[in-house]
Amino acid sequence: MAPIDPPAPRPDGPQPARHSAESQLGEFLRTRRARLKPGDVGLPDFGRRRRVPGLRREELAQLAGVSVAYYTRLEQGHGQNVSVEVLDAIARALQLSETEHAHLTHLAKPKQIRKKKKLSARPQQVRVQLQHLLDAMEGIPAYVLGRRLEVIGWNRMACALLGDFAALPPEERNMARHTFLDPVAHELYGDWEAKAVEVVSVLRLEAGCYPDDPQLSALVGELSVKSEDFRRLWAAHTVQKRGHGTKLIRHPVVGELTLAYETLALPDNHDQHLVTFHAEPGSHAAESLRLLNSWSTQPA
């Protein structure tokens, strides 16, 4: 029996900019489809050479229970009227993670999402009390990220570990710029590729939430022009939330140290996140942090 389609998504009416959700929707669906093989989803693979990587459109449509024509229109960016049920079915067929599923929803229904998430025109700022907390975190590198991975607050140890944010012009205090445009970053992060993937994945998620943010579009455009690595990773359409884990830092003063990091969303502003680094008690990294703290307090 042929699948019964929901009402066809209509391309007429006002359309978002090509950089926004319309173009991103098709690209995201294609990259997620390309990473799956028939065997991954229980379909037979007869060993014939496939003209495209991953699943064919008709295979994905069959798994999601929609027609090929309907799914094709979604990949062409016409998802303004797609239902939640259809998005859920496509997400299951593509085996999307929870974060990827949420990203797909933002891309397919940008107008509805923007009603809930409006950009403030005011410059991002750190509350005075939060800055006091940062300063009181003696021996713990900590900073605050705003939208677009802008570094909007930090303490002395964060500067000692990662570089002097205060010495940079405000427009250059950005973790994406630091990662891709600062040559020091390649030496600083023991696994630079993992750091770069993390940065791009968070920016992709931001672009899905705020498809009409001109400053984010400008940042992505600049990085795409100036960094081949950024262009490569941006084309992969990976998305992930800010999280936690470990990083190997190769510091020019105290040498290598493996630090755990935590990323915490602030309760009164979910566009701002507090990032902290800490070492396992008694470890070599803990001693290195102690030395770094002592070094950073010495007069110039």
Q: Whole-angstrom Cα distance, residue 82 to residue 266?
A: 33
Spatial contact of 127 and 42, defined as CB atoms under 8 Å apart: no
Spatial separation of the C-alpha atoms in residues 183 and 252, rounded to whole Å: 14
Residue whose tokens read 């915490």: 264
SS3 of residue 138 by DSSP: coil
Query: In one letter, which amino acid is 117?
Result: K
pLDDT, one tens digit per residue, over 108-125 is 875 555 455 556 656 788
Percent of the chain at pLDDT exceeding 70: 84
Instruction: Assign 268 a pLDDT band (cuts: 50, 70, 90).
Output: confident
Mean pLDDT of 191-195: 96
Contacts of 6 (CB under 8 A, 6+ apart): 66, 70, 82, 83, 85, 86
pTM over 0.75: yes
What pLDDT is attached to residue 2?
A: 43
Average pLDDT, the chain: 85
